[in-house]
Amino acid sequence: MTKPELTLYLAAPRGFCAGVVRAIKIVEMALEKWGPPVYVRHEIVHNKFVVDGLRDKGAVFVERLADCPDDRPVIFSAHGVPKAVPAAAAKRDMIYVDATCPLVSKVHIEAERHSQNGLQMVMIGHEGHPETVGTMGQLPDGEVLLVETAEDVATLDVRDPERLAYITQTTLSIDDTAGIVAALKARFPSIIGPHKEDICYATTNRQHAVKQMAPDCDALLVIGAPNSSNSQRLVEVGAAAGCPYSQLVQRAHDIDWRALDGIKSVGLTAGASAPEVLIDEVIAAFRDRYDVKVEMVETAQENVEFKVPRALREPA
């Protein structure tokens, strides 16, 4: 039987960003240097396939430092941790390696600098997300106020409206964040923003690619984990840009083929913690069912690379 024709628009950039590549490499190098088990506080990145692969090599994933023994190395995830966590590890004389993405660390440094200058911080982010928890945990309680929506700005109770600065989670929707920033500036005209946008290059690039292809797609599939903020934002961006069916899938077996019945074009992208092998798996699943023509939608080229910590580059 003849397969129906389908155009598959493949976003570029997509998938792994430099911070994710670095974080995974840190776990792999730690396993090589110290042998298993190596403990990782929280999922190193938000992707089950990646985490399961590292677990098979000897990584042990825990949610609390208290669940780690004193005599084994521990790695802090790419999302960052509150200051109290490395302090507690140092107090226990643990070997620890910080895999926080350098672009998240930049936000941490920014928050500390503003605080030292006497400013109270407003953080735009998602409550409970590990990156938000880690960033707010860089300063004492009460020094960072969280807003999730433009509506939240109206109820902010600040210490001094003339002494404020704002920072953002690195994986937010560019458009949604712009609306919150506008609300902050309208209510607090003196508020200071970051020198350079806190939303990271990878989040920005992936959202731009989705915006460009979404109007031409009958459906958009984003490969990523449900707890991946940047992946969830890609789904929302696709829907807002005009794609009638925008969905998150973790693997090819998650695709709802009945929902795609009769379609002629599909956009395909992946969150920053999803490996290329999962994209290849989804493309193969489409080729099984359709006569596929792949068209690349490239909106940027990425050549960013982050070094791993010196502790891992030195011999044991």
CA–CA separation, 87 and 94 (whole Å): 10
| Intrachain domains 5-16+201-298 and 18-101 with the same fold | no
How does pLDDT run across 10-28, given as a tens digit for each residue?
999 999 999 999 999 999 9
CATH placement of domain 18-101: 3.40.50.11270
The mean predicted confidence, pLDDT, of the chain is 96
The catalytic site residues sit at 131
Q: Which pLDDT value is given to residue 316? A: 67
CA–CA separation, 29 and 24 (whole Å): 9
How does pLDDT run across 186-233, given as a tens digit for each residue?
999 999 999 888 999 999 999 999 999 999 999 999 999 999 999 999
How does pLDDT run across 28-63, given as a tens digit for each residue?
999 999 999 999 999 999 999 999 999 999 999 999
Contact 203, 191 (CB under 8 A): no
How does pLDDT run across 57-111, given as a tens digit for each residue?
999 999 999 999 999 999 999 999 999 999 999 999 999 999 999 999 999 999 9
CA–CA separation, 181 and 138 (whole Å): 22
How does pLDDT run across 119-156, given as a tens digit for each residue?
999 999 999 999 999 999 999 999 999 999 999 999 99
Domain 5-16+201-298 of CATH type 3.40.1010.20: yes
Domain-by-domain residue ranges, the chain? 5-16+201-298, 18-101, 103-187
Q: Which CATH architecture has domain 103-187?
A: 3-Layer(aba) Sandwich (3.40)
Written as one string, the DSSP assignment of 7-45 is: EEEEEES-S--HHHHHHHHHHHHHHHHH-S-EEEES-SS
